[in-house]
Amino acid sequence: MNVAQGLRGLATLSWVLAFIVIALAVFRASRGTPFRAATGLILGAILFALVLTSVSAGLVFIQPEERGIVISAIDPQGYRTQALTPGLHWIVPFAESVETYPIYRETYTMSIAPQEGAVMGDDSVAARTADGQEVLIDASVIFSVNPDRIIDVHISWQHRYDVDLVRPLSRGIIRDEAAQYGVEEIISEKRLELIEGVRERLQRRLEDNGLLLEEFVLRNITFTPEYAASVEQKQIAEQRAQEAELTVEQKRQEAEQARQVAQGQADAQVIAAEGSAQSRLIQAKAEAEALGLIADAIRDNPDVITYEYIQKLGPDIQVMLVPNDNPFLLPLPGTDGTTTTVTPAPTTTAP
């Protein structure tokens, strides 16, 4: 409690005491019992109450979050040109009064939710976009009164600046800015641009009227039921299209994988075939070189054939039966180490 309020309380109490003294004097007089000190007490109580009332009426305490405007009956303009700053001030009792205004941040909310906005019920801003769609915009305007222009605000708006200035001004600017964009732009890439456009215009207009815009908050954008249903159907169709694209891409990747597998198998077969051919070529070349060497050896030493023939015979063979019509190209060795010429046996004809 500040000093001014305390004095007002004392002044009220003094008037109560004065009326009690008056009532007591009247009661004593009605009973025939004179109250000799009644006149003095009554005059003293009234005088004391008048003094306290006058002093309390002249003292004004301004809170730190307030500014005061002195309405004066003795000033030709009807008010003091300087606003009262926080603290205790003296004004002319009964000739001047003080109107206080807050300078702290205030919030005016317009919302579709019944309990959120400054106005009960649906107070969202209905706006029409550039493509003819209706949207409902929830917004909050955070502002404060300019301390240097308190008097201008009082003269122009008094305490109606939130309802008669902030509300209609912000709603009109929101509608104007929303009309410059399509509905899909407002909800996507142009949303921040819309907010910035509203903020700049609203800030200029409020400053012209003695208010400071602290922040503009676009809370929500709601569509009509018909457009919301169409947006939902569009999103469903886009989702299905994306799923189809993913399926096609998956099939393409599977086909590409199968092609790469087949190509790898074909490449492996080609490499295997080339390796086999190369191996056969090397083998044939080696056999040809071996045959050439054998031919050279036989040409230089004909007994090599006989040697090879003997090497192929079993070590225990002593008798060989051969057909009589096959000539022998090689002499056969004997058991004693000498060479034995084998003559074919005669052919016997049965009688």
pLDDT tens sequence across 139-161: 999 999 999 999 999 999 999 99
d(CA 295, CA 13): 151
Q: What is the pLDDT of residue 230?
A: 64
**Closest C-alpha among 295, 300, 347 to residue 325:** 347
User: What does the CA dihedral 276, 282, 287, 290 come to, rounded to 10 degrees?
Assistant: -160
What is the reported pLDDT for 126?
Answer: 92
Closest by CA position to 136, among listed 58, 202, 228, 44: 228
Q: Output the pLDDT for position 303.
A: 67
β-pairing, 339-340 vs 211-223, is unpaired
SS3 label, residue 102: strand
Q: What is the pLDDT of residue 311?
A: 65
What is the structure's pLDDT at 133?
87
pLDDT given for residue 44 in this prediction: 75
Paired with 67 in beta bridges are 101
Q: Cα separation of 315 and 306, whole Å?
A: 15
Low-confidence ranges of the chain (pLDDT < 70): 1-4, 7, 28, 32-39, 228-237, 303-305, 307-351
pTM of the entire structure? 0.60
Can you give the pLDDT at residue 313?
A: 63
Write down the pLDDT at residue 201. Answer: 96
The residue with tokens 């649906």 is 122
Give pLDDT, residue 235.
64
The pLDDT, as a whole number, for residue 151 is 94
- Residue 12's pLDDT is 79
The answer for residues whose C-beta is within 8 angstroms of residue 65's C-beta and 6 or more apart is 102, 103, 104
Which residue's entry shows tokens 């004693």?
A: 336
